[in-house]
Amino acid sequence: MHARVEDLLKLRELPQLEPPPGVWERVLETERVRAAARRFRRRALAAAAVVAVVVVGVSAALMLERPRAPTLIVARTMPASSTTLVPQVSASYAPLVAESARLERLLAGLPPRRVMVGSTAGTIAGLEDRIAYVDAQLSYAAARDLAPTYREALWGERVELMSALFLVRFGQSQGF
């Protein structure tokens, strides 16, 4: 310990040197630029977080506010004398099929997925699972030749899910 005190005393004997001219100004300018860059990154991150929350909120709102699809009930063949309980609707679901195909093309045109936040991956996986479930119901409805109202409801739900998936994937591909 005694040697350290001696070293400190030797350091005090060294002459005082002046820094080169303008060095403190350069140090202060460098710190000012770095602080501005940190503020910019924080603001950009906050803006990206706001956009992500809006995209997830819109997706959730689209899914929550939609009317629920009717439950598929398969009835046994009824006697010819009985009346059908399924209302006949003349509205065609062809526009829904076309919209679904358009959304499929838009999704296919997005850049490939890259690394993403876990919550975004979970949202995408959940939407894709629900779309697969609706597709299975559509296949069943077509195979059993169920009423057009059921198919129309299923196609409507598929279009809403595809729209939500496109919004999330688009936001993810833009880096939000």
Written as one string, the DSSP assignment of 59-83 is: HHHHHHHSPPPPPP-PPPPPPTTSP
Q: Per residue of the chain (176 residues), give pLDDT as tens.
A: 567 888 888 878 888 888 888 888 998 899 999 998 898 888 888 888 888 877 777 777 666 655 554 444 444 444 444 443 433 333 577 888 888 889 888 888 888 777 777 777 788 888 889 999 988 998 888 888 888 888 888 888 999 998 888 888 887 777 65
Supply the pLDDT for residue 19.
83
Read off the pTM: 0.48
Who contacts 99 (Cβ-Cβ below 8 Å, separation ≥6)? 159
128, amino acid identity: E
Who contacts 142 (Cβ-Cβ below 8 Å, separation ≥6)? 151
Domain boundaries, the chain: 25-70+89-173
Tokens of 71: 């439950």
